[in-house]
Amino acid sequence: MMKRGLLVGAMALSMMAGTMVAQQAETSGKTILLWADGAPGAQGAADVDKPTLTVFLPASNPTRTGVVVAPGGGYQHLSMQKEGEDVARWLNARGVAAFVLKYRLGPTYRYPIELEDAQRAIRTVRANAAQYGIAADHVGMWGSSAGGHLTATAGTHFDNGNAGAADVVERQGSRPDFLVLAYPVITFEAPYAHTSSRKYLLGENPDPKLVDLLSDETQVTKDTPPTFLFATTDDGTVPVINSVLFYEALVKAGVPAEMHLFQHGGHGAGLAAANPALSVWPDLVIKWMRERGFAAPQVP
């Protein structure tokens, strides 16, 4: 009788696991609205007025990690393929879930709209963690270029959520558990600012206090998430000092940080698979994630 009970229990667990896998497979590849009834501050009903997440789930996720991916584009367009879907599929191949964020852009939308989209993305992933097969405390964020600025801003401007909110998503905290910053925009202060990103996010003549608030190296605290940075010294678009400033602030605050600077490579390399000088950098990211428990150990 006991053996039969154990067998029935095992069958039930197997069926539950199979159902969950089927649900995840059905969810993967879907694009969802961050706000089903319209985003706050929306100035229209077109696609550009609707921030979304596209879900990419791996076949197996041993560490139950998910990453919100923020493509770059100077806050005026989005590199959805090279810095979005390509990154997501690369993470999937290494057993990590990914969620590509389409956030609203300037000049139609300015701060704080972009940050609110990023925070909502993190909250959404956490609120649906069980459905995605991830853990709510294993939600990181990966951003490139201006997406790196948005990611660093999410990592320095966050809250614990609103416990009394009717919307379950808004009850979730918005702090990422780790950050990956690829050739990121960090500072809006001269002489190292990427002035185009600043213009599209803050306008032509922003208040100096707002410039300081959104220069993320000035906002780092001991609670800023562990961070991995990658950049190139000869980046002619976003000066490499952006990464150095953020790394320095992280070290001073006692935040675990790792930075890799390459002499050559320019800006906007993405995963750099075809660039012999840079193609190693994604391997350094996954090594760092494994060391922190955000990716499974490599099988020999």
Phi then psi dihedrals of residue 274, to 5 deg: -100, 10
27 within 8 A of 57, measured Cβ to Cβ: yes
81 within 8 A of 73, measured Cβ to Cβ: no
Report d(CA 175, CA 218) in Å as an integer.
Answer: 17
DSSP 8-state symbol, 249: H
105 within 8 A of 77, measured Cβ to Cβ: yes
Low-confidence ranges of the chain (pLDDT < 70): 1-27, 299-300
Q: Which class is 30-291 in CATH?
A: alpha beta
Torsion of Cα atoms, 169 then 175 then 180 then 182, to 10°:
90
What radius of gyration do the chain's Cα atoms show?
20
Phi then psi dihedrals of residue 139, to 5 deg: -115, 105
CB-CB neighbours of 32 under 10 Å:
13
Pairing of strands 52-56, 257-262: unpaired
State residue 27's pLDDT score: 67
225 within 8 A of 171, measured Cβ to Cβ: no
Q: Name 264's Cβ contacts closer than 8 Å, sequence gap at least 6.
A: 232, 233, 234, 277
State residue 128's pLDDT score: 98
CB-CB neighbours of 63 under 10 Å:
18
Domain ranges of the chain: 30-291
State residue 16's pLDDT score: 44
Side-chain-side CA neighbours of 29 within 13 Å: the count stands at: 4
Side-chain-side CA neighbours of 73 within 13 Å: the count stands at: 20
State residue 29's pLDDT score: 86
Secondary structure E strands in 26-95: 31-33, 52-56, 66-70
Q: Name 139's Cβ contacts closer than 8 Å, sequence gap at least 6.
A: 65, 66, 67, 68, 122, 125, 126, 129, 176, 177
Report d(CA 164, CA 81) in Å as an integer.
Answer: 38
Stated pTM of the model? 0.91
State residue 3's pLDDT score: 54
| Helix (H) / strand (E) containing 228 | strand 227-232
State residue 28's pLDDT score: 76
**For the packed helices 113-127 and 146-156, what is the interaxial angle rounded to 10 degrees?**
70
